[in-house]
């Protein structure tokens, strides 16, 4: 157990819908990262937050957005869902200081299926 | 832009065989390098990491990796694999100052047969 929790574990929805994925980082971690794992794209970095502020963006679609709340949990919002958005979405968290030397701890992931 | 290549997509070994998984990255500057493992149905776990110093890095569960700067490589090795090593292995890189975002390779699926 990494200490990072994600809910829900599984999500099945229809095209055009909107969903929210939730992540709680390890106690004391200030950074949260979102990654998408799909068969065709592999593991891709989506976005990073540090202490409530967006820090870096990767290959995140405009239909996707995220935020980190004052209690440091984070939500990833996916809207106007398409079949191709079906994937495993991982959240990771890392240390109290903003540093590229911090190990990232990964949550169990949310498996999203868009029908 | 940084990228990571893992040349072996699927590897099948018998128990006690030696393992070497290739990883090459493209980035001209200083990098941090990682190997993560994902056991079936589980989350990603860090096997080992390289930031600086001794290019031969030892990780958990008997794994090690060697950073060869001239070859832009960070290959993962284990002298004798076990059935429990069956998993997917990901090489990843980040660049200092890049806010710690990880760039992952495509992964290598390892199947170890008893």
Q: Where are the beta strands (DSSP E) in B1-114?
A: 3-5, 10-14, 19-21, 24-26, 32-38, 44-50, 56-58, 64-68, 73-78, 87-94, 103-104, 108-113
Q: Could you read off the pLDDT of A38-92 as tens digits, one per residue?
A: 988 889 999 999 999 999 898 899 999 999 999 999 999 999 999 999 999 999 9
Does residue B102 surpass a pLDDT of 70?
A: yes
Q: Please report the number of interchain residue pairs, chain A to chain B, with beta-carbon separation below 8 angstroms.
A: 63
The answer to whether the CB atoms of B101 and A43 lie below 8 A apart is: no
| Cβ–Cβ contact B2 with A under 8 A | no
| Cβ–Cβ contact B102 with A under 8 A | yes
- DSSP β-bridge partners for residue A12: A113
If one compares A97 and A12, the residue with the highest pLDDT of the two is: A12
The answer to whether the CB atoms of B102 and A103 lie below 8 A apart is: no
Q: Could you read off the pLDDT of B75-86 as tens digits, one per residue?
A: 999 999 999 999
| Cβ–Cβ contact B106 with A under 8 A | yes
| Cβ–Cβ contact B51 with A under 8 A | yes
């Amino acid at each position: 157990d990494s200490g990072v929790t994600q809910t829900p574990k599984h999500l099945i929805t229809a095209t055009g819908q909107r969903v929210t994925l939730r992540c709680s980082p390890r106690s004391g971690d200030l950074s949260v990262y979102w990654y998408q794992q799909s068969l065709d794209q592999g593991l891709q970095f989506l976005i990073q937050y540090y202490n409530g502020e967006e820090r870096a963006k990767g290959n995140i679609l405009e239909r996707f957005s995220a935020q980190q709340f004052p209690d440091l949990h984070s939500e990833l919002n996916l809207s106007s869902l398409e079949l191709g958005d079906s994937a495993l979405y991982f959240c990771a968290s890392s240390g109290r200081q903003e540093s590229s030397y911090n190990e990232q701890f990964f949550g169990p992931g949310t498996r999203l299926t868009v029908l | 832009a940084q990228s990571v290549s893992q040349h072996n997509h699927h590897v099948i070994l018998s128990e006690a065989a030696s393992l070497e998984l290739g990883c090459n990255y493209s980035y001209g500057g200083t990098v941090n390098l990682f190997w993560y493992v994902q056991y079936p149905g589980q989350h990603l776990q860090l096997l080992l990491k390289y930031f600086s110093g001794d290019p031969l890095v030892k990780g958990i569960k008997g794994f090690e990796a060697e950073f060869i700067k001239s070859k832009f490589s960070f290959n993962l090795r284990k002298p004798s694999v076990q059935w429990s090593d069956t998993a997917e292995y990901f090489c990843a890189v980040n660049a200092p100052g890049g806010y710690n975002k990880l760039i992952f390779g495509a992964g290598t699926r390892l199947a170890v047969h008893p």
